[in-house]
Amino acid sequence: MKDASTLFVLCSLATLAASAASSSVVPVPLVSSVARPAVSAGAQANGAIRGRVEIRRVVTPMERRPGVAELGTPPGRGVPDLRRSVVYLESAPRGAFEPSDAGRAVMDQRNETFVPHVLAITTGTIVDFPNSDKFYHNVFSLSKTKPFDLGRYATGNSRPVRFDRPGIVRVFCDIHSHMSAFILVFSHPFFALTDAEGRYSIDNVPPGTYGVVAWNEGTSSDPKTVTVPDRGLVELDFTLR
Protein backbone atom coordinates (compact mmCIF):
# COMPACT_ATOMS: atom_id res chain seq x y z
CA MET A 1 0.00 0.00 0.00
CA LYS A 2 2.76 2.32 0.97
CA ASP A 3 4.69 1.39 -2.18
CA ALA A 4 1.66 2.02 -4.33
CA SER A 5 1.15 5.38 -2.71
CA THR A 6 4.74 6.39 -3.27
CA LEU A 7 4.71 5.14 -6.83
CA PHE A 8 1.48 7.01 -7.44
CA VAL A 9 2.82 10.35 -6.31
CA LEU A 10 6.20 9.93 -7.97
CA CYS A 11 4.65 8.92 -11.25
CA SER A 12 2.31 11.87 -11.10
CA LEU A 13 5.18 14.23 -10.37
CA ALA A 14 7.25 12.88 -13.22
CA THR A 15 4.50 12.98 -15.80
CA LEU A 16 3.40 16.40 -14.65
CA ALA A 17 6.91 17.74 -15.03
CA ALA A 18 7.35 16.20 -18.45
CA SER A 19 3.99 17.41 -19.68
CA ALA A 20 4.30 20.91 -18.39
CA ALA A 21 7.83 21.33 -19.62
CA SER A 22 6.91 20.18 -23.09
CA SER A 23 3.90 22.48 -23.12
CA SER A 24 6.03 25.55 -22.93
CA VAL A 25 4.97 27.98 -25.60
CA VAL A 26 7.88 30.33 -25.22
CA PRO A 27 8.87 30.99 -28.79
CA VAL A 28 12.26 30.17 -30.15
CA PRO A 29 14.34 33.30 -30.57
CA LEU A 30 13.64 34.79 -33.95
CA VAL A 31 16.46 37.19 -34.20
CA SER A 32 19.52 36.27 -36.16
CA SER A 33 22.72 37.91 -35.12
CA VAL A 34 24.64 36.53 -38.10
CA ALA A 35 24.87 38.70 -41.17
CA ARG A 36 24.38 37.21 -44.58
CA PRO A 37 26.94 38.72 -46.94
CA ALA A 38 24.32 39.66 -49.48
CA VAL A 39 25.65 43.09 -50.18
CA SER A 40 28.24 45.50 -49.07
CA ALA A 41 26.86 48.48 -47.25
CA GLY A 42 29.22 50.72 -49.11
CA ALA A 43 28.62 53.79 -51.19
CA GLN A 44 25.18 52.79 -52.45
CA ALA A 45 22.11 54.67 -51.21
CA ASN A 46 19.79 52.80 -48.97
CA GLY A 47 16.23 51.74 -49.63
CA ALA A 48 13.24 50.73 -47.58
CA ILE A 49 10.84 47.85 -47.03
CA ARG A 50 7.25 48.75 -46.36
CA GLY A 51 4.04 46.90 -46.13
CA ARG A 52 1.31 45.59 -43.89
CA VAL A 53 0.91 42.71 -41.52
CA GLU A 54 -2.55 41.19 -41.42
CA ILE A 55 -3.48 39.12 -38.39
CA ARG A 56 -6.03 36.51 -39.37
CA ARG A 57 -5.92 34.46 -36.21
CA VAL A 58 -7.85 35.29 -33.10
CA VAL A 59 -5.54 36.90 -30.60
CA THR A 60 -6.89 37.35 -27.09
CA PRO A 61 -5.17 38.87 -24.09
CA MET A 62 -4.10 36.64 -21.26
CA GLU A 63 -7.06 36.39 -18.94
CA ARG A 64 -7.01 36.86 -15.22
CA ARG A 65 -7.21 33.55 -13.37
CA PRO A 66 -10.73 32.85 -12.09
CA GLY A 67 -9.83 34.17 -8.64
CA VAL A 68 -12.31 32.05 -6.76
CA ALA A 69 -10.62 32.87 -3.43
CA GLU A 70 -10.94 36.62 -3.82
CA LEU A 71 -13.41 38.38 -1.58
CA GLY A 72 -14.72 40.66 -4.30
CA THR A 73 -14.51 41.61 -7.93
CA PRO A 74 -10.92 42.34 -8.88
CA PRO A 75 -10.18 45.82 -10.21
CA GLY A 76 -10.54 46.49 -13.90
CA ARG A 77 -7.48 46.39 -16.06
CA GLY A 78 -6.27 47.75 -19.33
CA VAL A 79 -6.40 45.78 -22.55
CA PRO A 80 -3.03 45.17 -24.16
CA ASP A 81 -2.69 46.03 -27.83
CA LEU A 82 -2.10 42.60 -29.32
CA ARG A 83 -2.35 43.70 -32.96
CA ARG A 84 1.11 45.18 -32.99
CA SER A 85 3.58 43.05 -34.88
CA VAL A 86 7.28 43.28 -35.47
CA VAL A 87 8.83 42.94 -38.92
CA TYR A 88 12.55 42.41 -39.12
CA LEU A 89 15.35 41.32 -41.37
CA GLU A 90 16.28 37.76 -40.63
CA SER A 91 19.78 38.58 -41.76
CA ALA A 92 21.34 41.96 -41.82
CA PRO A 93 23.98 43.66 -43.94
CA ARG A 94 27.60 43.77 -43.00
CA GLY A 95 28.35 46.60 -40.72
CA ALA A 96 24.94 46.39 -39.15
CA PHE A 97 26.42 45.03 -35.95
CA GLU A 98 28.87 47.80 -35.39
CA PRO A 99 28.41 49.26 -31.93
CA SER A 100 26.06 52.14 -31.81
CA ASP A 101 24.64 54.27 -29.08
CA ALA A 102 21.93 52.19 -27.55
CA GLY A 103 19.09 54.20 -26.22
CA ARG A 104 16.49 53.83 -23.53
CA ALA A 105 12.98 52.56 -23.80
CA VAL A 106 10.06 52.45 -21.42
CA MET A 107 7.64 49.68 -20.61
CA ASP A 108 5.08 51.08 -18.20
CA GLN A 109 2.89 49.11 -15.78
CA ARG A 110 -0.50 50.74 -15.92
CA ASN A 111 -3.95 49.35 -15.06
CA GLU A 112 -2.41 45.91 -14.60
CA THR A 113 -1.09 46.00 -18.14
CA PHE A 114 2.35 46.44 -19.64
CA VAL A 115 2.35 49.42 -21.96
CA PRO A 116 3.46 48.92 -24.67
CA HIS A 117 2.69 45.24 -24.93
CA VAL A 118 5.50 44.74 -27.45
CA LEU A 119 8.81 46.50 -27.45
CA ALA A 120 11.44 46.10 -30.17
CA ILE A 121 14.91 47.30 -29.24
CA THR A 122 18.54 46.87 -30.16
CA THR A 123 21.08 45.20 -27.92
CA GLY A 124 22.48 47.48 -25.28
CA THR A 125 19.18 49.29 -24.81
CA ILE A 126 18.12 50.01 -21.27
CA VAL A 127 14.42 49.54 -20.64
CA ASP A 128 12.83 51.35 -17.73
CA PHE A 129 9.89 49.69 -16.01
CA PRO A 130 7.97 52.38 -14.11
CA ASN A 131 5.03 51.43 -11.95
CA SER A 132 2.07 53.73 -12.60
CA ASP A 133 -0.42 51.74 -10.54
CA LYS A 134 -1.24 52.39 -6.91
CA PHE A 135 -0.21 48.91 -5.92
CA TYR A 136 2.86 46.75 -6.28
CA HIS A 137 4.04 45.06 -9.40
CA ASN A 138 6.94 42.65 -9.70
CA VAL A 139 8.34 42.51 -13.21
CA PHE A 140 10.32 39.42 -14.08
CA SER A 141 11.42 37.23 -16.93
CA LEU A 142 12.73 33.70 -17.00
CA SER A 143 13.81 33.93 -20.63
CA LYS A 144 17.23 32.63 -21.53
CA THR A 145 17.97 35.87 -23.33
CA LYS A 146 17.66 37.97 -20.19
CA PRO A 147 16.45 36.48 -16.94
CA PHE A 148 15.69 39.15 -14.37
CA ASP A 149 13.47 39.91 -11.42
CA LEU A 150 12.97 43.52 -10.37
CA GLY A 151 11.21 42.76 -7.11
CA ARG A 152 8.25 44.66 -5.73
CA TYR A 153 8.13 48.41 -5.95
CA ALA A 154 5.46 51.01 -5.52
CA THR A 155 3.89 53.64 -7.72
CA GLY A 156 6.16 56.35 -9.03
CA ASN A 157 9.22 54.13 -8.92
CA SER A 158 11.02 52.66 -11.88
CA ARG A 159 13.73 50.08 -12.33
CA PRO A 160 15.92 49.60 -15.38
CA VAL A 161 17.12 46.51 -17.19
CA ARG A 162 19.82 46.48 -19.84
CA PHE A 163 19.39 43.96 -22.64
CA ASP A 164 22.74 42.86 -24.04
CA ARG A 165 21.82 39.75 -25.99
CA PRO A 166 19.50 39.39 -28.97
CA GLY A 167 16.43 37.25 -28.54
CA ILE A 168 12.87 37.30 -27.29
CA VAL A 169 12.19 38.20 -23.70
CA ARG A 170 8.79 37.31 -22.30
CA VAL A 171 7.98 39.64 -19.43
CA PHE A 172 5.52 38.88 -16.62
CA CYS A 173 4.37 40.25 -13.30
CA ASP A 174 4.84 37.91 -10.35
CA ILE A 175 1.83 39.38 -8.57
CA HIS A 176 -0.62 39.68 -11.47
CA SER A 177 -0.37 36.53 -13.55
CA HIS A 178 -2.44 37.97 -16.39
CA MET A 179 0.18 40.65 -17.13
CA SER A 180 2.56 39.76 -19.92
CA ALA A 181 4.57 41.50 -22.58
CA PHE A 182 7.25 40.84 -25.16
CA ILE A 183 10.58 42.51 -25.69
CA LEU A 184 12.32 41.63 -28.96
CA VAL A 185 16.00 42.40 -28.79
CA PHE A 186 17.82 42.73 -32.10
CA SER A 187 21.49 42.92 -32.76
CA HIS A 188 20.86 45.15 -35.77
CA PRO A 189 18.60 48.13 -36.41
CA PHE A 190 16.58 46.68 -39.31
CA PHE A 191 13.21 46.09 -37.72
CA ALA A 192 9.95 47.95 -37.30
CA LEU A 193 6.86 47.79 -35.13
CA THR A 194 3.56 47.93 -36.96
CA ASP A 195 1.07 50.70 -36.31
CA ALA A 196 -2.56 50.24 -35.34
CA GLU A 197 -3.44 49.34 -38.94
CA GLY A 198 -0.62 46.85 -39.21
CA ARG A 199 1.58 49.04 -41.41
CA TYR A 200 5.33 49.07 -41.03
CA SER A 201 8.37 50.60 -42.62
CA ILE A 202 11.96 49.46 -42.30
CA ASP A 203 13.98 52.36 -43.56
CA ASN A 204 17.59 52.89 -44.45
CA VAL A 205 18.13 49.32 -45.63
CA PRO A 206 21.27 48.86 -47.70
CA PRO A 207 20.66 47.40 -51.15
CA GLY A 208 20.74 43.64 -51.17
CA THR A 209 18.74 40.47 -50.77
CA TYR A 210 17.26 39.68 -47.39
CA GLY A 211 14.95 37.36 -45.61
CA VAL A 212 12.16 39.28 -43.89
CA VAL A 213 10.04 37.90 -41.08
CA ALA A 214 6.85 39.13 -39.43
CA TRP A 215 6.20 38.26 -35.80
CA ASN A 216 3.11 38.60 -33.63
CA GLU A 217 2.49 37.24 -30.13
CA GLY A 218 4.98 34.41 -30.41
CA THR A 219 4.01 33.43 -33.95
CA SER A 220 6.27 34.26 -36.84
CA SER A 221 5.90 34.00 -40.58
CA ASP A 222 8.19 32.06 -42.84
CA PRO A 223 10.95 34.34 -44.12
CA LYS A 224 10.13 36.14 -47.32
CA THR A 225 13.03 36.92 -49.59
CA VAL A 226 13.20 40.43 -51.00
CA THR A 227 15.79 42.35 -52.92
CA VAL A 228 16.14 45.97 -51.97
CA PRO A 229 17.43 47.99 -54.90
CA ASP A 230 19.61 51.07 -54.71
CA ARG A 231 17.38 53.91 -53.39
CA GLY A 232 14.52 51.50 -53.91
CA LEU A 233 11.31 50.83 -52.05
CA VAL A 234 10.01 47.29 -51.65
CA GLU A 235 6.42 46.54 -50.74
CA LEU A 236 6.03 43.39 -48.70
CA ASP A 237 2.85 42.26 -46.96
CA PHE A 238 2.40 39.43 -44.49
CA THR A 239 -0.50 37.40 -43.27
CA LEU A 240 -0.24 35.68 -39.92
CA ARG A 241 -2.71 32.90 -39.24
Partner 1 sequence: MKGPGTAVRLSWMLFVCVASTAGAQTLPSEPISIAGGRVTVGGDVTGTWGPDDPGFFNDTDYGHSALRMLRIDVSAAVKMGPHFTFLGEVRSENTTVRPYALYLRIRPWTAREFDIQVGRVPPTFGAFARRTYASDNPLIGYPLGYQYMTTMRADALAQSVDELLQKRSQGWGFLYSVGNRAFLGGVALVSAFRWDTGVQVHGTAGMLSATAAVTAGTVSNPLFHDDNSGRQVAGRVELRPVAGLVAGTSLAWGPFLSGDAARAATVPLPARVAPGNLADGEEKAFTQTAWGADLEYSRDHYIIRFETIVSAWRLPAVRQPALPSSLDSLATYIEGRYKLRPRLYVAARVENLAFSDVTGTRTTLGWDAPVSRVEVGGGYSIQRNLLLKLAYQYNKRGAGKEIPEAHLPAVQLLFWF
Residue 232 buriedness (CB in 10 A; 0-12 / 13-18 / 19+): middle
The C-alpha atoms of residue 161 and residue 32 are separated, in whole angstroms, by 22
The C-alpha atoms of residue 215 and residue 87 are separated, in whole angstroms, by 6
**Closer Cβ to partner 1, 97 or 153, answer by number:** 153
The C-alpha atoms of residue 181 and residue 98 are separated, in whole angstroms, by 28
Residue 10 CB, shortest distance to partner 1, in Å, is 6
Contact between 45 and partner 1 by CB under 8 A: the answer reads no
Per CB under 8 A, the list member of 35, 102, 148, 193 interacting with partner 1 is 148
Per CB under 8 A, the list member of 18, 103, 132, 162 interacting with partner 1 is 18
Q: What is the DSSP string of 63-76?
A: PPP--TT-SSPPPP
Q: Which of residues 49-78 bind partner 1 (CB under 8 A)?
A: 60, 62-73, 75
Q: Which of residues 98-137 bind partner 1 (CB under 8 A)?
A: 134-136
Q: Which residues pair with 171 in a beta bridge?
A: 181
Contact between 162 and partner 1 by CB under 8 A: the answer reads no
Per CB under 8 A, the list member of 114, 129, 172, 190 interacting with partner 1 is 172
**Closer Cβ to partner 1, 27 or 211, answer by number:** 27
**Closer Cβ to partner 1, 70 or 197, answer by number:** 70
Query: Contact at 8 Å (CB) between 115 and 77?
Result: no
Q: Under rule CB under 8 A, how many of the chain's residues touch partner 1?
A: 56
Beta strands 104-106; 219-220: pairing state:
unpaired
108 — phi, psi (to 5°)? -80, 160
**Cα 192–chain centre separation:** 12
**Closer Cβ to partner 1, 172 or 190, answer by number:** 172
- In the complex, the residues that contact partner 1 under the rule CB under 8 A are 1-2, 4-13, 15-26, 60, 62-73, 75, 134-136, 140-142, 147-149, 151-155, 170, 172, 177-178
